[in-house]
Amino acid sequence: MHRVDILIPTCNRPEALAATLTSLIGQRFTDFRVHVMDQSDGAPAYDHPVAVAALRVLRSQGRGVEVARNLPRRGMAQQRQALLERATAPQVLFLDDDVILEPGTLRRMVEALEFTGCGFIGSAVIGLSYAGDVRPHQQYIEWWHDNVVEPENVLPGSSSWQRHKLHNAANIWHVQRALGLEEGKWRLYKLAWVGGCVLFDRDKLLQCGGFTFWKEAPAEHCGEDVYAQLQVMRRFGGAGIIPSGAFHQELPTTLEQRDIDLPHWFNQPSSTMASTGVGSEKG
């Protein structure tokens, strides 16, 4: 039985998907299977020659690879839930289709998750176009002492919510360079949330409902990954890891409608949601 299912949602990004898949080829941790779920307007991204080539190499290495379509679109939470339902491994890595991983990234994340026994470990994505943009005022970091992770209740608007600034631009990259950890070493820090590359304990994620909240949310939304993390963090804890090893391709978002941010939306008074009519229909 493999230890990790890598779950990749994709839409209209064949070249970016190919780069993400290629970064999996050189991972030092190899006990994983890959699931790609596509919602492209035309042909699926995984059928594009550049993506096909990367998938062939992964298969030649003995990695299991599954691809599927998920249409019609019913929102990113439903897309992630559909991926989660395909997973059987004890750990699941939700990896966006525009992220490139360094070779040691997955190994560090697996080690950290198994060491802590917490709900998830996140590698914040780094935008290297900001390498020259040093922002000391956004680089405050709260460490988990001795890498012991505890449950936290982080809410939008709270003081802990301000931790998200650490993940802006290339802040994490600057912090980890200054830290100067030895090869193979890692440290864990406290989060508001982390996007793009998150390794969950699958059972703990399922105990918190996974992404089944998609049935209560409007189809056009963002922040579904954040909302799921907050539920897991409240019950089991979650942490960010340094070094990150995850790099953003810095492409335009494929989610153009971002008015409904689920962590904020679900924390509205129920009367407010009812008055707008949002969320009254399933799916």
Show me where the domains of the chain are located.
4-268
Per-residue pLDDT tens digits for 122-161: 999 999 999 999 999 999 999 999 999 999 999 999 999 9
Q: Half-sphere exposure of residue 162, counting CA atoms within 13 Å on the CB side?
A: 8
Q: How far is it, in rounded angstroms, from Cα 224 to Cα 75?
A: 9
174's enclosing H/E stretch is: helix 171-179
In degrees rounded to 5, what are phi and psi of residue 218?
-65, 150
Per-residue confidence (pLDDT) for residue 256, from 0 to 100: 65
Tokens of 237: 């804890």
Superfamily of domain 4-268: Spore Coat Polysaccharide Biosynthesis Protein SpsA; Chain A (3.90.550.10)
- The closest of 121, 76, 93, 73 to 224, measured between CA atoms, is 76
Of the candidates 102, 121, 133, which has an alpha carbon nearest to the alpha carbon of residue 233? 121
Q: Is the pTM of this model over 0.85?
A: yes
Contacts of 279 (CB under 8 A, 6+ apart): 216, 217, 218, 265, 273
For residue 129, what are the CA distances in angstroms to 77, 105, 126, 134, 248? 29, 20, 9, 11, 10
**pLDDT for 36-83, tens place per residue?**
999 999 999 999 999 999 999 999 999 999 999 999 989 899 999 999
